[in-house]
Each structure stands twice: as structure tokens, then as C-alpha cells.
Structure 1
Amino acid sequence: MNRLSQMLLAGAAIACLAAVPAKAEIVIGAALNLTGIQAPMDEPGFRGAQVAIKELNDAGGLLGEPVKLVTIDGKSDPVTVGNATVQLIDDGAQLILAPCDFDFGSPASREAQAADLVGLSTCASDPLYSSWSLGDKQFTLSMWNTTMGATAADFALEKGWKKAYVVTDQFIAYTKSLPKYFIEQFKAGGGEILLEDSYNNGDNDFSAQLARLQALPEKPDVIFLSSYGTDIGTIIRALREVGYDAPVLGGDAYDDPALHQALGEKFGNDVYFVTHTWAGPDAGPEMQHFLKLYKEMYGQEPDTSFVATGYDAVMLLAEAVKAAGSTDGAAVAQALEEGQFKLLTGELDYTTADEGHMPNKAAAVIALNGGKTSFVGWRRPETVPAP
């Protein structure tokens, strides 16, 4: 065989190889924040998502194809999250997992919407995370702050705590809207707000607020503190050190083992927070199954409910893809709107896009005493404030 014939045959072989399609797979792109201030919410969710991916693939994949999770660290920076999502979509992602917050997660959902893909935040709770502001293919797994705030208010009133001091951290949409809904529900139930105060995340100085609190003619029955990150511990310590031993209430940002450890036995008492689920067997039989899988993968028990949000987000997308029969954005969005889902984080159904894709969902109440958490129970308010 002469050299020209060999070259022609080689070229034909290369052409044949190029014509063989790559192995089909369903790709979920995740621009989660694995580092930075948002990592305590997103990194556990990433771990939970990995458990779900393995479970799906062990059972044969999705629509007969393996499922792949591709993650790029958003680094707790909204611009980086948006750019990472563009890269994920360019690289073939068919579904998008967005970070656990409106400020940090909305750039991912905006890019998903622009590409006609379904985007799902693992746990953004501000009502801004809606189809109204992000588009008809965008959802969040979390309850909205309307439910989170109302649950906290109802719990306080149920305990007989009638007078509240409220602190609003001006950090992000989440910290600003959560106390708004707490206050509305608390007042509607007969509670009284003694003082609404403000704090700026990163100040690490609560002395001005303490002076205003100490100037009140009476002490509050409960303190509702809406803050984020390490500032939560700083404020609780400041309150306890000057003798304010009233129960402290908050949202899911408290669901951080580093915070519980920082408060410890001395300061980690009479603290309650509303979050997504309880990472223990008494949360339900589905949780027992997840805990077994999680321990097999990581060799230890989860220490925050955020692991369940990542697992649920992947499994929710999988159920919707099965119902739709494809990863087509419009079909998957319709399946999410029409479905009713039983998850580790509670039963969930969404309203229509015209109604905001509001997640109808229960909440879990957790207590912190002696620096250790315990499960108070599931709560679903009979009424919630309008978003």
C-alpha cells in the first residue's frame, strides 16, 4: 500500500471516529459557592447533591442516561456565579442548580432563563426568588421568607412570648425581608414589637443597639435576630454578656455547626431557628434512607439540614425530567408546576408562573441548648403574609 492510500485510510478512520457520538448523559450544572461567606449553605448542599447523583446512577440514571453534576465554585461573588453559569451552559449543562440565596443565586437563574433552561436554587428564601423577577423557568426549593418569618412568629406566640425586640441586618435581601414577615405575623397574632433595630453585617460591634435596648422601659420576651454568618454569634454573645437571656429566634442562617460550636455551652442556649428539615431519623422515614446513603459516602452523619437541600434539589429535578420525558426547559418547568413532591425538606408544590412559583411548604423548628441542636418539630402556618 502506497503512502497516499495509507493517508486516505487514516483520514477515513479519523472521520469515522469523529462521527461516533459522545456517550449521552444528562448534565446538571451547579455554580454553587463552595468558598466564602455563602459556603456554610452551599457546600453542604453540594455534598447532598453528590449523594443524589450516585443514587440516581446506581438505579440506572435518568431517562436511561447517566446523570453528571458539574460544579464551578461561585466563590460567594454574584458576578462569578453568573460567569460560572454561562460557562456551565456553554459546556452542555441542561439543568442549573443555583446557590442558596437571591443575591448570590439570582445571577445563575438569570443565565438559565436566558438559555431557556430550568434553574433551581437549593434554598433561596426571599420572595424575590420567583418567576415574577427571574422568569417562568426559575424555582427555589426553599419555603419563602413569608413562611419562615410566619413560622417563627407563630412559634413565639405559642410559647407565650408577646413582646419582641427585632434586629434587621442590612446585608442582603434575605436578612432584610425575613424580619418584615416576622413582624407582620407577630402583630397579627397579638404580639407587640418593643423596638425595631438595625445592624450592618461585618460591624462586629453591637454596642449602639445594646444601648437602645437597655433604654427600653421593659425587657423583651423574645429577640428576633435576622443576621448572617459569624455576626449572628457576635450579636448573641453581646446580648448574653449584658444579661439579656430572652430566647433568640432566627432563620435558616443559624443552621450552621460552626455557629453552634462558637456559641458553645455558655452562650448556645434558648436559641431557636426555622430551617428546612432536621438531619435526624425522627424527621421521617425518607430521612433515615438519606442518612444511610450519606454516611456510606462521607463516613459521618450530616450536621446541618443544608445537606438535604442539595439532595432534594437534584431529586426534584430528576422527578420533573421523568415526568416531562426530556430536559426541555418548558416541559420540565410545567412538570414542576403540576407536580406534588414528597421530599426530605417536606411536601412541596408550586404555584403557576403567573403566581410567582411560590413554594407551598412546611418548615422545621430547631432548638439550640448547651451548644447542641434538637428537633422541635414541623410547622406549617395556617396563614402567611403576602410577599
Structure 2
Amino acid sequence: MPGKTAVGVATGGSAGRRSMRLLGVACVAIFATACGDGMSPASGPDTDDTTVRIGFLVSGVRTYPNGAMIAVDEVNGRGGLSGRPVEIIVREGLEEVSAAAEAADALIATDGVVALIGPNRSSHAIEVGAIAQRLGVPMITTAATNPGVTAAGDLVFMAAFTDRFQGRVVAEFAAGTLGVMAAAVVTQRGDVYSEGIGEFFVDQFRGSGGAIVAEESYDRDATDFAAQLARIAAATPGAVFVPGRAEEVALLSAQARALPVHDAAGEPTLLLGADAWDNAALLDNEEAAVEGSFFSSHFSPDTDEPAARAFVDTYVARYGIEPTGGDAVSYDAVRLFLEAAARAGSLDADAVRREIQATRQYAGATRISHYNDARHPTKSAVIMTIENGAKKFYRQVDP
């Protein structure tokens, strides 16, 4: 029914999948998009001829569905997608790649979703993208940033910038703005995101005239970084780039300060991060030692862009906290699909694909100038700093 949002939520992947339907989430209109007529019916075993079902995949960060829900409520508040209510079915707690792949398969084959939004992890998105492409369902990732997530085919798009751009942004910021000419890098071994952006940072930092004086790695769920930090401390870098998960970064930062790790002048070495740092699991962790650090992210809640400001205000009013960059791109990914389907006047996968590819000057929580042939968006990044335990906007970096 237009004006209401249907939500399906499941946690845990293959074991213990639970599902529930909730109706009656308040709708707030932030943007207005005209929806065309002639919307073709969705297809799938459980899909009727009235409800448009969208699958949403998320790992680790519980708030990302919040942004997606706002986008769905907006379209339902305007009467739905060509008069049809939109339902979002959330699969969360997908910690392993296999769980994300299984959830994606079930969303398409059993729940009859017409699109997949997410996942937020690059390693998951690469696998899920292959499933979406094979089964003919459009997919827009949320916070996944490795360029390889779209390699599966022309139905897979990104809402976030790529790590090629993000790595360059952080490296140029370190060398050009902070004046750092010797840096170290610590990445999670075997992780597509962490290793990928680490490589982009290293290449760009060297290209900017800087020297990489140490390259270290650790295994997932590591808790002891003493050996890696000892070698880094001996190299006295001006900055250490740590593009890892919040849990490991919190531990590593505390151990780096306790050692301590200093630069050649004897000052505490700067810690630099990427978009995975924009996470309450790090920023609200009292054990983390990230004060004075810098990290890249998708957007700042201090934005004064009208559409983005409206998104932030709605998010804060509804959830009582400020949105993260991942919340913002989750909102945008859903909106991008809904706007494309509205322009296409159809849920035909190829028709929607063409309209996503044709996106120009999109303005939502973030902005997208256009998509390139690899289905990567051209968009800005922001640099955030951490002051008094809170993230603070530092500057925007345009492509």
C-alpha cells in the first residue's frame, strides 16, 4: 500500500535465517522524481503483481539499512513506483563471503527481488556481483570500493567511489597537505579492500615523491600487532596508513601509541585511514587511540548541500544519531535504482541498466557526476579528522 514500507529482515546467512514483515514506517519526502507509467511486473517465485521487492545485503554495520529505508519510504510516500509499493528485504549479519552469496541467491530465487543493493564489503560484492549478473538482476553496491566489484558484467554498478580514487586522495593529502614524505602501510592479509587500497596508496604516494619505509600485514581478527609496529617504529615514518576494519584499527592504534611509534623528529606518527574508519565501532571505542588522525569518507554530516542536508536531518530525526558515509551511500544506492526504474518505466533489467548507466548529475546524500564504462561513479570524497573523540569535516576532494 502506497505510503507504507514493507521490510523483511534476516540475520546470520545460512544458519538460523529469520524473516519478519513490518508495515507502517513513517514516510518523509526529500526528493521528487516523476515515476512513469507502464511498469512491467516483477518476476520471481514469491513476487505478486503489485509489490516491487528490493534485496539489501549488509555485513557488520547495522546502521546501513537505515539509509536504505529512508529512500524506500520516500518513494512510497509519493505513491510508490508507478503506483506500486516498494518493499525492501534486508539480509544482515553476513560475515562470510559464502553467506552473502547464499543470501543473494535466495533473495532472487525465493523472494523474487528485482534488484540487489549492496553488499558493503568488496570481497562479498565481487562474489554477489557474479550471481546478480548470471541471474539477470541489476545490482548497486553500497560502501564496497574495490574497482573489481563491477567486473562481473554490465548489470553491476557502484554507489561509492573506487579505491583507486580514494587511495590517491589519501596519498596526495598526506604528501601535499600534511607534508609527509615517509609513510608506512599496514593492511589485512588476503582482504580485497584492505590490500587493494593499500596498493593504490603506495603507488600514488611514491608518485608524489614520498617513500614507503615499511609495508606490514596482519591476519583477520588479529589482536597483537607488536611485531609489525616494532618494525614500523624502527623506520620512523611520518604517517601510517591503516585501511582496515574498525575492530583491528582500534587495537592497532592503541598499541602504536603505547609503544610508541614516532616520526624522525620524535613526534607521534600520524595515523591515516580510509572509509572503513567511518564506523561507530572505531569512533566510539574508548580503547582506540585515533585522536588527531585523518581518514577519507563518502560524505560529511556537516554538509550544506540541500539534498544531502535533508537526508541528514531526516536521518537524525528518525534514528537519533548522525549518518555515516556508509549510511549515505546505502541511501543513494536505493535511490539510484528507483530513479532509473522510474525513468525506464519498466523493471526490465536491461532497461534499468541503461538508465543507471545514463545517470547524470545525481544529487542525493552524495553527488555523482556520471558513470564511466566500468560502471564506476565519478564523485568527490571528503577528508575527516578526529578531534575530541569525534569526527570532523576537514576538506572535500573533487575528482
TM-score range, shorter chain: 0.7 to 0.9
Q: Say if 1:119 and 1:74 are closer, same or farther in 2 by CA, change over 3 A.
A: farther
How does 1:233-382 map onto structure 2 within 5 Å?
233-244=250-261, 245-263=268-286, 267-280=289-302, 282-298=303-319, 300-340=320-360, 341-352=362-373, 356-381=374-399
The answer as to whether partners of 1:165 and 1:222 remain within 8 angstroms in 2 is: yes
206-215 or 168-177, which deviates more: 206-215
- 1:15-45 CA-partner distances (Å, limit 9, x unpaired): xxxxxx9551211112323xxxxx22xx222
Q: Say if 1:283 and 1:107 are closer, same or farther in 2 by CA, change over 3 A.
A: farther
90-99 or 138-147, which deviates more: 90-99
Q: Say if 1:303 and 1:333 are closer, same or farther in 2 by CA, change over 3 A.
A: closer
In structure 1, the partner of 2:156 is 138
Unaligned ranges ≥5, structure 2? 1-46, 262-267
Q: Distance in 2 between matches of 1:283 and 1:347?
A: 16
Say which SS state the counterpart of residue 128 (structure 1) adopts: helix
The answer as to whether partners of 2:57 and 2:120 remain within 8 angstroms in 1 is: no
In structure 1, the partner of 2:241 is 224
How does 1:96-175 map onto structure 2 within 5 Å?
96-130=116-150, 133-157=151-175, 158-175=177-194
TM-score by length of 1: 0.84
- 1:64-96 CA-partner distances (Å, limit 9, x unpaired): 221111122352122222222222112221111
The answer as to whether partners of 1:169 and 1:198 remain within 8 angstroms in 2 is: yes
Given candidates 38, 56, 67, the residue that maps to 1:30 is 56
Say which SS state the counterpart of residue 246 (structure 2) adopts: coil
Q: Distance in 1 between matches of 2:66 and 2:107?
A: 19
**Could you tell me how far 1:149 is from its partner in structure 2?**
0.4
Compare CA radii of gyration and give the structure with the larger one. Answer: 1
**Could you tell me how far 1:370 is from its partner in structure 2?**
2.4
In structure 2, the partner of 1:44 is 63
Q: Distance in 1 between matches of 2:387 and 2:192?
A: 29
In structure 2, the partner of 1:58 is 77
Detail structure 1 runs of 4+ shifted over 4 Å in the superposition.
none
**Could you tell me how far 1:297 is from its partner in structure 2?**
2.8
Q: Distance in 2 between matches of 1:188 and 1:283?
A: 34
In structure 2, the partner of 1:193 is 212
302-311 or 91-100, which deviates more: 302-311
Q: Distance in 2 between matches of 1:334 and 1:303?
A: 30
The answer as to whether partners of 1:225 and 1:250 remain within 8 angstroms in 2 is: yes
Letter in 2 for 1:380: D
Q: Distance in 2 between matches of 1:111 and 1:68?
A: 21
**Could you tell me how far 1:344 is from its partner in structure 2?**
1.4
**Could you tell me how far 1:171 is from its partner in structure 2?**
4.2
142-151 or 207-216, which deviates more: 207-216
Letter in 1 for 2:321: E
Q: Distance in 1 between matches of 2:234 and 2:347?
A: 59
Letter in 2 for 1:374: K
Say which SS state the counterpart of residue 183 (structure 2) adopts: strand
Q: Say if 1:214 and 1:288 are closer, same or farther in 2 by CA, change over 3 A.
A: closer
- 1:159-181 CA-partner distances (Å, limit 9, x unpaired): 21111111122141000011111
Q: Distance in 1 between matches of 2:126 and 2:335?
A: 21
Say which SS state the counterpart of residue 331 (structure 1) adopts: helix
Q: Distance in 1 between matches of 2:255 and 2:367?
A: 35
Say which SS state the counterpart of residue 205 (structure 1) adopts: coil
Q: Distance in 1 between matches of 2:89 and 2:170?
A: 36
The answer as to whether partners of 2:316 and 2:323 remain within 8 angstroms in 1 is: no
**Could you tell me how far 1:110 is from its partner in structure 2?**
2.1
**Could you tell me how far 1:346 is from its partner in structure 2?**
2.5
Q: Distance in 2 between matches of 1:72 and 1:257?
A: 21
The answer as to whether partners of 1:44 and 1:310 remain within 8 angstroms in 2 is: no
Given candidates 213, 236, 240, the residue that maps to 2:232 is 213
The answer as to whether partners of 2:63 and 2:327 remain within 8 angstroms in 1 is: yes
Q: Say if 1:250 and 1:72 are closer, same or farther in 2 by CA, change over 3 A.
A: same
Q: Distance in 1 between matches of 2:181 and 2:398?
A: 20
